[in-house]
Amino acid sequence: MGAINWLAVLLAPGLAAAIGRVWYGPLFGGLPPFAFMQTDRRPDAGPVRDAIAGLFLLAFPALMLGHSLARIGAETLAVKPWLYWMQSGGVALFFVIPAVWINQARHGVTLREALVDAGFWLVAYLAMGTVFWTLG
């Protein structure tokens, strides 16, 4: 196993969060994906706390992506750079999006909202893969 790219692990969540701000702002509107802390029961929560929570939660998939890419190894990634996006996009397509859709089905989320969320997660994960590729 190669070394984990810790700089990419630190920067990838920031890029994914920035994409979320644009995705759920000017592009598609609505609440950002980490607005879960703003509830009637938690009036003290706000955008700064949501941003910190979002970065914290996005750090976990960035760490796991860094680990899986380290397992592949720098030599293999150098000759097969598409593996950055196969790993990151594959996790989004085959783990994250189905899990989100199952959860959303329980709450009666509209198809449009489900597709917007799925698009965000795919783009966010591919962006994290791009951070690893850029810094690899």
Asked if residue 38 is part of any domain, the answer here is: no
Residues 6+ apart with CB under 8 A from 107: none
Residue 11 has which token pair? 């920067």
Domain that holds residue 77: 1-8+54-135
Distances (CA, A) of 14 to 21, 40, 82, 115, 128: 11, 28, 22, 23, 9
Asked if residue 101 is part of any domain, the answer here is: yes
Asked if residue 25 is part of any domain, the answer here is: no
Asked if residue 43 is part of any domain, the answer here is: no
Q: At what angle do helices 47-72 and 6-22 cross, to 10 degrees?
A: 130
Query: 111-120, pLDDT tens digit by residue?
Result: 999 999 999 9
Across 38-48, b (16+ Cβ under 10 Å) vs e yields beeeeeeeeee
Q: Is the pLDDT of residue 37 over 60?
A: no
The whole model's pTM is what?
A: 0.87
Asked if residue 45 is part of any domain, the answer here is: no
Asked if residue 36 is part of any domain, the answer here is: no
Query: 56-101, pLDDT tens digit by residue?
Result: 999 999 999 999 999 999 999 999 999 999 999 999 999 999 999 9
Q: What is the pLDDT of residue 50?
A: 73
Asked if residue 63 is part of any domain, the answer here is: yes
85's enclosing H/E stretch is helix 83-91
Mean pLDDT computed over 35-56: 66
Q: What is the pLDDT of residue 35?
A: 59
Number of independent structural domains in the chain: 1
Q: What is the pLDDT of residue 36?
A: 52
- pLDDT category at 45 given cuts 50, 70, 90 is low
Asked if residue 46 is part of any domain, the answer here is: no
